[in-house]
Amino acid sequence: MTMSHDAQAYNFAYLDEQTKRMIRRAILKSLAVPGYQVPFASREMPMPYGWGTGGVQVTAACLVPEDRLKVIDQGADDTTNAVSIRKFFARTAQVATTERTQEATLIQTRHRIPETPLTEGQILVYQVPIPEPLRFLEPRETETRKMHELEEYGLMHVKLYEDIARHGQIATSYAYPVKVEGRYVMDPSPIPKFDNPKLGQSPAIQLFGAGREQRIYALPPFTDVVSLDFDDYPFASSKAPHDCDLCGARQSYLDEVITDDRGGRMFVCSDTDFCASRQAQGKVGRLGVGQAEGAK
Amino acid sequence: MSAHTLSGGFADAPIQSARAFRALLEAMARPGTIHAVTGAQPPAPLSVAAGVALLTLCDGTTPLHLAGTSDRPEVRDWLAFHIGAPLVGPQEAALALGRWEDLAPVNRFRIGLPDYPDRSATLIVEMDRLTNHGPALTGPGIETATWLNLPETAAFQANRALFPLGFDTIFTCGDRIAALPRSTRVEAV
């Protein structure tokens, strides 16, 4: 037994070994049945439910000391949730951290998939608030479990159809349901539907943790993931019809930022690392400040 | 009880089990890939990899079945000291350990319930060798196709036909592991 650092107050990655074994068994089963929600005995974590306790537990069960951890919240590395989870693991697991997507081996995310394509050595851990895609259509767990068992997903198509009847198009714009390997309908967590095409055939391992709802599910690499749609109303990814005002990116997902009380606004990349590295390469948007000028 | 009963476990469990799980995670997420693990010295005839898999996944809450030659006093004592899993018959086992011929017929093991397919057994199969040569594997986790020297194909094809039910398999040989989840399609070549 090596006593590293000053008196070690926490077990490696915070959780006790028995809890990690239980989570690890659930993760392996979730990989064996892609898209199926495996129940697990979620623990209380030193942060409130809704702040990523599911993702934190999955991350804690997967971390090794050699990992380089990145945490994003809606694409940003510098928001409260992301900063506190990153500090939590830097302290309890002594892992290195980064904001660069390419350098990270494990990325915990709330509601976005990074713009930079993921690679084979990476694990993406999602924080999930409501793992059950049918929950808002059928509140009873006994019923939704039966619906998954029988592959009875008609209700979900009725919901999408009602969208079309009411709005002329499928109005669901985030947490857009997907079907995994032709079997389970899965909630991809509240990522914008812009990110849905990145779910399937990804070289990275994708794990989903829902702490309050006590569920873990997974997408192994190179898994078929299809966003639900109709032949005459095919799935369409969407984003604000603008370029990033800071880095000029045309294909990235954008946040709208209100800049004054007279209708002024700007659109910026939601992925802060993607935007910052483009600006570092000298790419400038409508309101961006060039590197030379910014350095003054 | 011999002196060896007390040794051979993880010396630094949090770190060693984390690294071991990462190898198991990669193995299960990418069926057919072979990974090296270290840290356990279980009594014969258990391989290092089988010992590591048990120390990482098995505890007092997971009933374990020992099949064939793995069911001997030295092994039982070692498991009782380091893991404390209840030893049970094949029908109740969450994890089972043995050589393929000792585990057969594998339809004795739990395949999960239609509404809870996760309540299925994980088989740890001791192999004489582990190479990427043999039946072809396709499915989730595999980009195009890969190969693994499975002990047979028929049982795994029958298991795949039960999807989303079925058992999951971890293969161990020396200090190396590979895995075959129930989702993988197997074809003899």
Q: Looking at the domain assignment, is residue B85 inside a domain?
A: no
Boundaries of domain holding B28 = 12-57+108-187
| B59–A contact, CB cutoff 8 A | yes
Name the 3-class secondary structure at A45: coil
Q: Max CA-CA distance within chain B?
A: 50
Does the interface ipTM go beyond 0.90?
yes
CA distance A151 to A182: 10
How confident is the prediction along chain A (296 residues), in pLDDT tens digits per residue? 444 555 567 899 999 999 999 999 999 999 999 999 999 999 999 999 889 999 999 999 999 999 999 999 999 999 999 999 999 999 999 999 999 999 999 999 999 999 999 999 999 999 999 999 999 999 999 999 999 999 999 999 999 999 999 999 999 999 999 999 999 999 999 999 999 999 999 999 999 999 999 999 999 999 999 999 999 999 999 999 999 999 999 999 999 999 999 999 999 999 999 999 999 999 999 988 765 444 43
CA distance A131 to B95: 27
CATH code for the domain in which residue B118 is found: 3.40.50.11310
Please tell me the distance in Å from B131's CA to the nearest CA on chain A.
21
Task: Name the residue facing B118 among A36, A149, A205 (closest C-beta).
Answer: A36
Q: Do B183 and A32 touch (CB under 8 A)?
A: yes
| Token pair listed for A265 | 């606004």
Q: Do A181 and B183 touch (CB under 8 A)?
A: yes
CA distance A178 to A110: 18
| Token pair listed for A136 | 């808002």
Peptide bond into A129 cis (omega under 30): no
| B96–A contact, CB cutoff 8 A | no
Residue linked to tokens 């000291």: B81
Q: Looking at the domain assignment, is residue B4 inside a domain?
A: no
Peptide bond into B45 cis (omega under 30): yes
Q: Looking at the domain assignment, is residue B66 inside a domain?
A: no
How confident is the prediction along chain B (189 residues), in pLDDT tens digits per residue? 576 889 999 999 999 999 999 999 999 999 999 999 999 999 999 999 999 999 999 999 999 999 999 999 999 999 999 999 999 999 999 999 999 999 999 999 999 999 999 999 999 999 999 999 999 999 999 999 999 999 999 999 999 999 999 999 999 999 999 999 999 999 998
Q: Looking at the domain assignment, is residue B175 inside a domain?
A: yes
Candidates A9, A15, A213, A21; CA nearest to A126 is A213
Please tell me the distance in Å from A6's CA to the nearest CA on chain B.
17
- Kindly state the helix (H) or strand (E) to which residue B172 belongs, with its residue range: strand B168-173
CA distance A164 to A171: 7
| Token pair listed for A145 | 């479990």
| Rg of chain B, C-alpha, whole Å | 16
Domains of chain A (ranges; CATH) run: 17-227 (3.40.50.11310), 239-284 (no CATH)
Q: Helices in B48-167 by DSSP H: which ranges?
A: 48-57, 73-82, 100-103, 154-161
Q: Total domain count for chain B?
A: 1
| B181–A contact, CB cutoff 8 A | yes
Q: Looking at the domain assignment, is residue B118 inside a domain?
A: yes
Q: Looking at the domain assignment, is residue B125 inside a domain?
A: yes
Task: Name the residue facing B11 among A1, A61, A184 (closest C-beta).
Answer: A1
Please tell me the distance in Å from A46's CA to the nearest CA on chain B.
20
* CB atoms near residue A142 (< 10 Å): 8
Which residues, 6 or more positions from A8, have their beta carbon under 8 angstroms from its beta carbon? none
Active site residues of A: 35, 244, 247, 269, 275
Q: Looking at the domain assignment, is residue B73 inside a domain?
A: no
Q: Looking at the domain assignment, is residue B94 inside a domain?
A: no
Which amino acid appears at position A214 of this protein?
Answer: Q
